[in-house]
Homo-oligomer: A and B are copies of this chain.
Amino acid sequence: MVKKNDNRDFSQIPRVVIKRLFKYHSALENLLSKGTVKVSSKSLSADVHVKASQLRKDLAYCGEFGTRGKGYDVKYLNGKLAEILGLHTEWNYILAGFGHVGHAFVCYEGIFRKGFNVKGIFDIDEKKIGQVFRGIEICDISKMPEIVREHNVQIGVITVPFDSGQSVCDKMIEAGITAILNFAPVLLKPKKSIFIERIDISRELVTLSHYLSHHKE
């Protein structure tokens, strides 16, 4: 089953589309585990609450993966999406700030299952430094460059509180990190152009309070 999927520039796909591609991927994994072989854009899109036309438009960014009149091969499409999403490889990450959030992140099953492996944990707390968690020694941040180099780490996860986020970001970039996931409540200003994704728990909560305040009845 050869498809024209040649020489496409996946780097130009909008972020919104990437996020939906991941939804499709998750839904496909689900179908796969149930042994489903074929799926139509109509049925798959319904699973993730988007319009079928949008699903097809999204896939059009990447190539042609279906057969008209029939639908998509679940396994094939899933594999292709995994490739586009970079889930066909393993990735290494380091984490800075081993508090509650950092701890929860490292323990999060889904992350490990998707091929993201922790290679370094950093904290400023003297009491934590030297402890070993799941085979990883908690280190002082000064060891970051060494660990990043030795383990070929690409991703940095920032789970420090408040303002120390920026200095951690700087150190990560210096160490050679090129993509950051930031849980700290600060807007990072990277010295070099790298990719940053942010998760701000407060922000999501606040959309709830806005809703509750203004949608009475």
Given A87-B206, A203-B22, residue A212 in contact with residue B154 (CB < 8 A): yes
From the candidates B18, B83, B214, name the one contacting A11 in the complex (CB within 8 A). B214
Is the Cβ of A213 less than 8 Å from the Cβ of B103? no
A129 sits at the interface (CB 8 A): no
Smallest Cβ distance from A5 to chain B, in angstroms? 14
Considering the complex, give the chain B residue whose CB is closest to the CB of A215.
Answer: B11
Q: Mark A41-60, 1 if CB is under 8 A from B, else 0.
A: 00000011100000000000
- Among A70-78, A107-115, A167-175, the one that faces the other chain is A107-115
Is the Cβ of B185 less than 8 Å from the Cβ of A208? no
Bound Cα distance from A84 to B99, whole angstroms: 32
Is the Cβ of A86 less than 8 Å from the Cβ of B178? no
**DSSP majority for the A interface?**
helix
From the candidates B18, B107, B181, B202, name the one contacting A100 in the complex (CB within 8 A). B107
Bound Cα distance from A63 to B149, whole angstroms: 52
Is the Cβ of A86 less than 8 Å from the Cβ of B210? yes
Given A10-B210, A104-B100, residue A110 in contact with residue B185 (CB < 8 A): yes
From the candidates B10, B101, B114, B207, name the one contacting A206 in the complex (CB within 8 A). B114
24 contacts between A and B (CB under 8 A): A11-B214, A13-B210, A22-B203, A22-B206, A23-B187, A49-B187, A85-B206, A86-B210, A86-B214, A87-B206, A87-B209, A89-B213, A91-B212, A100-B103, A105-B201, A110-B202, A111-B202, A116-B205, A155-B208, A195-B207, A195-B211, A195-B212, A197-B208, A199-B204
Interface residues of A (CB under 8 A from B): 9-11, 13, 15, 18-19, 22-23, 26, 47-49, 83-87, 89, 91, 99-101, 103-105, 107-111, 114, 116, 154-155, 161, 178-181, 185, 187, 195, 197-199, 201-215
